[in-house]
Amino acid sequence: MNYIFTNGRLLTCETPGAMLNASLLVAWGKIAAIGSLDECKRFSKEPFELIDLRGNMLLPAFTDTHTHFTEYAKNRTQINLTGCASISEIRERLENYRRDNPELPRWTLGGGWNKNIIDESQYLNRQLLDELFPNTPTALYSKDYHSRWCNSAALKAAGITVDSPDPAGGLIQRDHAGHPTGILVETASEGLEKFIEPLSDEQTFRCLEQAAREIHKLGLVSVHSMEVPAGARVLEAFCSQSQLLRVCRHFYLDEFPYIRDSGQHTGSGDNWHRLGGLKLFADGSLGSQTGAIFGEYPHSKGNRGILRHSEEEIFALAKQAAEHGFSCLVHAIGDRAVFTVIQALLRLRQSGIKPPSPFRIEHLQSIRPQDIPLLKECGACCSIQPVHLANDVDMIEDHWRQIKHEAYSFRSILDAGIPVSFGSDAPIETISPFAGIYSAVERRKNLDPREPSWLSEQRISAHEAIYAYTLGAAKASGAEGWTGSLTPGKVADLIVLRDFTALPPDYWLEASALLTMLDGRIVFRDNI
């Protein structure tokens, strides 16, 4: 079936804010023509459905350039502690989960706890979990996914005892007697992964299908996903079999030798599932106070965060990746980590090494003003999740006050001409691109319109934010030749929204897609 969209405005996203008053023909899964209604009718060689936009806006579908999508999909089967502000709230949710799941899986998983908002966070220990899950290994991620809270059974399964040393780049939290409390930080948490028994492939597949259909309502048809091998295998099968989601899959360092020697490269695959780049970590997170900063955390004397890779190590790994046909993505949150990555990428650029798609710095939650020209010079794309800002304001004011004016410098980065893509970091934050747009445009704590705009000089326009979710996102993986804008010849991944240009910014808090099209197929439709 062909489709002609007419009687609305086209936000082409070829540049931020580029608009046309025209009709658009979808044929054979692609944007076949843009012009007058009569021209589109003549160009269509097959029967078509005429879709009256009724004054609404047609634009490219969104891409989220930073998710952990399999984890996001599976979260619906797990313990959710998001928003809990007290130990009593946490206990209640754990008890409810235990009651609702009398037959526990081999491992009890979930998370969302945030020590920065929990009263009496010292009671986040293995003893509390042992009360409710005495025999089942239980491991619950922190909200930022940089720590895990484990019970004794989980520690035993991982072989963690009072004599276990802290791994490089990580921490086994201990009580006054030296016994593990159950909190594992950074690489100590990551080391637990190989002991956890995941959901079955069939269960994961069902979760992925449900999640994909849900995000269609948000105008999302494509995600970049940071995946471990088990999740990646099921996700690839899901994409090819269902054709409900496009995925660019990024991989971690421990998988690099296998992928490097397999003959694959960045871009391997097809438009449903393609291989992205090597994901590295320069530091930790703000919430865990492991983000590497030049100063020290105000309430943690001597703590400057954890720099997980030196400049030399990042240079060597990114160089090796590029020489084998891979791009590289580096997680960097603190200003010291960001500077370290920039220096490594500058060395790579000066050596003449070019990756197949742009090197990326992920998150970039703080950067010193003097480092922004260096960021431009190093040629990296900034993959940013603006919704983090909405939930980080209090933590920044409390823990990063000395460098708060370096935080979430959207305006400064764009004004410097640095390429930017937007994402969510789901399941850490909501996957909604509308929340991301609102956060980038308004910069209000907790997405609350009653709050003042935080560092308002760093606000950007809705058109700039949308561009970062469309063509900016496509450029972040070298896919701009076939997606990301309303350009004839590109795939027909499209959405219809209300014409927001005359609406207040609060529109984005309640926005939803009126129609979502994927590969020329309507996958969601609501009253249009």
Q: What is the pLDDT of residues 174-207, one digit of tens each?
A: 999 999 999 999 999 988 988 988 788 998 999 9
What's the start-to-end Cα distance of the chain, in Å? 17
pLDDT at 144: 84
Whether 106-195 and 2-60+491-525 are alike in CATH topology: the answer is no
Q: Calculate mean pLDDT across residues 224-238.
A: 95
Sequence-separated contacts (24+) of 390-396 with Cβ below 8 Å: 390/435, 390/439, 390/443, 390/444, 390/445, 390/446, 390/447, 391/429, 391/446, 392/286, 392/365, 393/445, 393/446, 393/454, 394/116, 394/117, 394/445, 395/116, 395/286, 395/287, 396/286
Ranges of each domain in the chain: 2-60+491-525, 106-195
Q: Is the pLDDT of residue 86 over 80?
A: yes
pLDDT digits (tens, 9 = 90+) for 98-121: 898 888 888 999 998 988 778 776
| Right CATH for 2-60+491-525 from 2.60.200.20, 2.160.10.10, 2.120.10.30, 2.30.40.10 | 2.30.40.10
405-464, pLDDT tens digit by residue? Answer: 999 999 999 999 999 999 999 998 999 999 999 999 999 999 999 999 999 999 999 999
Q: Do 427 and 385 contact (CB within 8 A), yes or no?
A: no
What's the pLDDT tens digit per position in 319-357? 999 999 999 999 999 999 999 999 999 999 999 988 999
Amino acid at 250: H
CATH architecture classification, 106-195: Roll (3.10)
Quote the CA–CA distance of 77 and 109 in Å, as a whole number. 9
The pLDDT tens digits of the residues spanning 244-294 come to 999 999 999 999 999 999 999 999 999 999 999 999 999 998 878 899 999
User: What single string gives the DSSP state of each residue in 432-462?
Assistant: -HHHHHHHHHH-BGGG-TTSPBTTGGG---H
- For 41-59, the pLDDT digits (tens) are 999 989 999 999 999 999 9
The full 3-state SS of 193-213, as one line of letters, equals HHHCCCCCHHHHHHHHHHHHH
| pLDDT value of position 121 | 65
> Has this prediction a pTM greater than 0.85?
yes
The full DSSP string for 315-376 is: HHHHHHHHHTT--EEEEE-SHHHHHHHHHHHHHHHHTT---SS--EEEE--B--GGGHHHHH
